[in-house]
Amino acid sequence: MLSQSLIVVMYTTLFYCIHFTTLITEHIHAHEDQVPDTCQSLGAESPKYEGRCDCFQLLLEMRCENLTHVPSFAGFNCVFVGVYMAKQSIRQLEENAFAHLPTRRLVLDFNDIEDRLHVAAFSGNFSDIVQELYLGACRLRNLPPGLFDDMHNLIVLHLWHNNIQHLPARVFVGCDSLRELVLSHNTIASVDENTFTGLRRLRKLDLDFNRISLLSRDVFKELTNLEVTLCIFTFTSVLLYLYFCTFIYFFRCCYCVIFVFFYRDR
């Protein structure tokens, strides 16, 4: 038989386990209440917007689907880890589109925005909070001067696979915390020597697959911690590559012919 002291220990352990489980449940519900219930169907009831955005309270994430416009974000008393609006049908970013969206990561990849990008689209409280901004494959042709002003906490900026031809001078001057800038797969032909002014903390700069044929040494004068990824494709370089491939192919054919004749005689 179990002793009386052992029974007391068992009951005490069971009590604390139940109490601990209750505390965890209350903690989870408290965090769920940090995100308003209106977020669950944001944009669904408005006749102006199509689609919806769903919140995941425990992850502090928002994922959107079937959007044609950016919803009117407002009333949040938390900061989201990420808001994902990629592969939607958003064709325009209006003034103050994200002014009241508190998120550290905003993903807008694969939206056909083109030139319908207002210079103040990322202004307001959003510019003070956001740390990662993804605008890849949005068919952007221009970056309006002042677009990234006041984004002092921005760390990652992706602008890959657009149609950007020119980078205005000092266009990133407000992003003094930026560490990763991806500009690959655009049509950039030249880079102004003041384009990257103010990016003293930049570590990764990706300029792969652009039309850059000449770069001034002063372009990187302030970028002391930089790791550049640059692949320059010109008509001359393509011809040289094709010539090299042809030479290798011819050499291999000659080798095979000599090898066959040599062993056939044996």
Residue 63 and residue 180 in one domain? yes
Ordered mean pLDDT values, 10 residues apiece, the chain (266 residues): 61 63 52 44 54 87 94 87 96 95 97 96 95 98 92 97 93 95 95 92 95 88 81 51 58 59 56
DSSP state of 173: T
CB 242 within 8 A of CB 220: no
Give the Cα separation of 70 and 94 in Å (integer): 8
Same structural domain, 95 and 223 = yes
| Residue 102's CATH number | 3.80.10.10
Sheet holding 105-107, edge to edge: 52-56, 61-65, 82-84, 105-107, 132-134, 156-158, 180-182, 204-206, 227-229
pLDDT at 222: 87
According to the model, what pLDDT value does residue 208 have? 94
Total-model pTM: 0.73
pLDDT at position 262 is 59
Same domain? For 108 and 23 the reply is: no
DSSP 8-state symbol, 209: S
Residues 15 and 50 in one domain: no
* Residue 41, pLDDT score: 43
Query: What is the count of structural domains for the chain?
Result: 2
- Residue 18 shares a structural domain with residue 58: no
The predicted pLDDT at position 110 comes to: 98
One domain, residues 14 and 52: no
Does 140 share its domain with 26?
no
**What local confidence, expressed as pLDDT, does residue 20 receive?**
56
> b/e for 213-249, b at 16 or more Cβ within 10 A?
eeeeeebbeebeebeeeeeeeeeeeeeeeeeeeeeee
Instruction: Count Cβ atoms within 10 A of the Cβ of residue 194 and give its class: 0-12 exposed, 13-18 middle, 19 or more buried.
Output: middle
Its domain, for residue 14, covers: 1-33
CA 210 – CA 191 distance, rounded (Å):
11
